[in-house]
Amino acid sequence: MVSISVIIVNWNTQDTLIHCLESLYKNTKIPFDVYIIDNNTGKKNTRLETVIRNYKNINIIKNGRNLGFAYAVNQGILSSQGDYVLTLNPDVTVTAGYVDSLFHTIRSDKKIGAVSGKLLSSGNKGILDSTGQIIYKNRFARDRGHREIDANQYQEGGVFGTCAAATLYRREMLEDIKINNEYFDSDFFAYLEDVDLAWRAQMKGWKFYFIKDATAYHQRAVSTKTVFKKTKRKFWGWRNRFLMIIKNDSLLSIVINLPFLLFCPLKSVKMLRKRRVIQKTRIIKHDEVARWFLW
């Protein structure tokens, strides 16, 4: 019986994917299956087929073009049946017990909607990549501890959100917060879609949790290293911040940020429609969620 469905989005990342799968199958005891969503423009991907040949319980979904991370992850979630969903970037390798620790923690409290462990940099394993996500009062969000030396300075406990590079989600939570059959917002394409999901989940009373003794390594942005791709990444980050504000924030904050929202008017209208659904079903007041916003 499969307990966890692992969702991996592939976009020209076969070289790192083999290490990701090797670590997953070697270090995980909880029953799982894998869904690889291939965004490599629908071409026959013989390298990918070669990579997965030696692994069982792998399903491949091929897309005709790069539909973005959020859309692809949603495809995987909709196709899978595990009670828990592990989103795993192909440039992540997990250590022994990483997935198992996340699984036992999320099962210990029915209000935990997602849990992640300590992500360290693959290039320098003494440097932190993420210990959960934090958000500031200016609504900029980032991975807590990113690029800091790991000195066990971040303790286990609640966080605003978790990095989707290696997070275990409760399917019940995902179903609770989805809009128009979407869990991650496909309009974001990539970047901040996990922060947006966490914000929506916080408003529905779900908790996000960090485990310091579960470790994985993240190479980060392996498929977006050219100058052009880095520029697009920054654009998506800035744009998606505003879309996230429109959907989830208080009306006062929207008024304050209105000049910035004019930079994406078409998406803004679409976000307002989604906002109506989100705000209508919220059960937690804005002030209670805003306690996570830092100066």
Asked whether residue 13 falls in the same domain as residue 136, the answer is yes
| Closest by Cα among 226, 200, 165, 65 to 234 | 226
Final residue of a structural domain among 218, 253, 274: 218
36 and 162 in a single domain? The answer is yes
Residue 293 lies in a domain: no
Asked whether residue 214 falls in the same domain as residue 232, the answer is no
Domain check: are 191 and 237 in the same one? no
Host domain of residue 245: 227-282
Backbone φ and ψ of 97, nearest 5°: 85, 0
Task: Judge whether 179 lies within some domain.
Answer: yes
Helix or strand run (H / E) with residue 118: strand 112-121
Token output for 68: 């973005």
Residue 128 predicted with pLDDT over 70: yes
Give the least confident one: 51-65, 80-94, 183-197.
51-65
Query: Where residue 194 falls among pLDDT bands split at 50, 70, 90?
Result: very high
292 domain-assigned: no
Say yes or no to pLDDT of 64 above 60: yes
Q: How many domains does the chain have?
A: 2
Stretch (H or E) spanning 290: helix 286-290
Output the pTM of the full model. 0.86
Q: Is there a single domain that holds both residue 238 and residue 213?
A: no
**Same domain assignment for residues 152 and 233:** no
* φ and ψ of 230, to 5 deg: -65, -40
Does residue 32 share a domain with residue 169?
yes
pLDDT at 227 over 50: no
Domain assignment of residue 288, yes or no? no
Looking at every residue in the chain, the average pLDDT score rounds to: 89
> Mean pLDDT throughout 240-263?
75
pLDDT tier, 257 (very low <50, low <70, confident <90, very high otherwise)? low
Best CA proximity match to 58, nearest among 83, 28, 80, 85: 80
Verify that 128 and 170 share a domain, yes or no. Answer: yes
Percent of the chain exceeding pLDDT 70 equals 88
* Domain match, 154 and 181 both: yes
H, E, C per residue of 126-177: CEEEECCEEEECCCCEEECCCCCECCCCCCCEEECECCCCEEEEEHHHHHHH
- Better-predicted residue by pLDDT, 97 or 41: 97
